[in-house]
Chain A
């Protein structure tokens, strides 16, 4: 029983980390309409930043500054926000497609740096021994799982409340105005480009923080944790939840992660060994088809204010 609860805590922790990334994406896409295809890259920037700053000193790579975990998380958010701000600065005076293409490139380059800059990122083997919060409790697995869940839930709730507050603040109202009627907002003296860069950077900060939280939750990072599949999963989560809604972002993450884990466990139990890799591909096909079907038939998602948990807009 306690094992089951422990697994439940582990599952929810993973799901809430996706929820955090989806919250960042919701600020960028749902509230501002900025299309980010490089989520994996931004998450990786946060994860590597925090990992390099907080791990103990190591001989074969730069870094290992032994910073406190919280300082690493803040630095991760800050560095990722800077990377996102630069991406936005370069592309947001152009059509929105250019931002999409550039974020795609960011993810490719981050993957390349993670793989090849061995002296900084540990190359294909990644960074291990990332300090975990409350590591002294590690010998009591169940309690440790719950404390981890508590930490991650606290971060998620804090970010959720902050984002809800932001979207109601004057700043959030400008974003809404820009989305609804760009020309009117500009005529009131609001710089569309500057507000969009800010929103893209803030969303990036949340993604970087999520990456850092995940790195410290697992204790180990490697380049293959940040493949395009991650980007794709987060998009599916936000679309299922309902873009524009912070609540939808979190609920969508839990639901899609449950489907993902469930399908994985199902195929592991049913599919013979040499077909496992193929079954995993089919899983991605299914998510891709689902994403397209939602775009076609239910663009407002399922769990936002306009989903079946709230009133439905026709």
Chain B
């Protein structure tokens, strides 16, 4: 078996993991599974693409950094894209989810997220059409790193970025005041309110973090693969599977779940063929639900 699948799996796994962080936080804090989360990814990628176009119109073409396929405009645009995606999530919450949450039936919120996801995705198709687009059309040479494994400079930078983002998230959740409030609220909302935690702030922080990370993951998918309106929908099942495998509410669990699913998918591509790749996440999801529904790091929940 060719060991190349390890690199491919780690990379797609980190993208899934970054997306799954948002899913797991939304589920444990806002108490619903957000079917529109994949569309935050796609909107983030398209938003970033638009900002790059705007920067390009202002300052002209810029040279890529070193051996990478992109230059500083992409980095700046991604940061702006993350802010825009967070605004989109907050807007959606204000328009839709918050109002339905107040009515108290969580499954109605799930349904609304499903309707919103369909509308968001089709709106992208309306604006940008369904044909794929790219941040860069250049081809990168993969560098051999031994054992028959090759990796492109872009892939290395994406892996490093994921490590930085996940570490920052972990420190934020465990050290910062807001992170502690979020964890407290997810464990016991009533008690959190009693001790004076500002619920609205916790909800806002959850949306901002989830959407910003989704945007980052969407941009990475755009750099490594391509940008399509359906890109988020295709990653939705792996992201849900990763969040459940890792244990709902656990940030490290979501990332580990994402890596496991990415590696299994990449291994499956070699063993049984690329066309069955999307079934792997489902197989893992079913196995977790039947054997250990609380996931690797989760608490028992019924």
Contacts and interface: CB of A to CB of B under 8 A. Distances in A.
A294 to B, nearest CB: 9
A109 B282 contact: yes
Contacts of B27: 97
A296 interface: yes
Interface of A is mostly: helix
A94 B302 contact: yes
Given A95-B302, A104-B237, A281-B125, A295 B115 contact: yes
B275 A101 contact: no
Given A97-B32, A102-B285, A281-B126, 14 more contacts: A93-B302, A97-B33, A101-B237, A101-B285, A102-B286, A105-B237, A105-B240, A106-B282, A115-B275, A232-B118, A289-B115, A292-B96, A295-B111, A299-B108
B115 A228 contact: no
A109 B276 CA distance: 9
Interface residues of B, number: 45
A105 B282 contact: yes
| Majority-rule SS of B interface residues | helix
Nearest to A106: B282
16 contacts: A35-B107, A37-B35, A97-B110, A101-B237, A104-B240, A105-B237, A105-B285, A108-B282, A112-B278, A277-B129, A281-B130, A285-B123, A288-B119, A288-B122, A295-B111, A295-B112
B256 interface: no
Contact of B130 (A96, A112, A116, A277): A277
Instruction: Please list the 7 inter-chain residue pairs (A to B) with the smallest Cβ-Cβ separation, ordered nearest first.
Output: A288-B119, A291-B115, A284-B122, A281-B125, A105-B282, A281-B126, A281-B122
A292 B119 contact: yes
Interface in B83-111: 96, 99-100, 106-108, 110-111
A282 interface: yes
A287 B118 contact: yes
A45 B240 CA distance: 23
B293 interface: yes
B35 A104 contact: yes
A275 to B, nearest CB: 10
A260 interface: no
Contacts of B115: 232, 235, 288-289, 291-292, 295
Interface string A215-231: 00000000000001100
Contacts of B244: 98, 101
A86 B73 CA distance: 50
Interface in A254-302: 277-278, 281-285, 287-289, 291-292, 295-296, 299
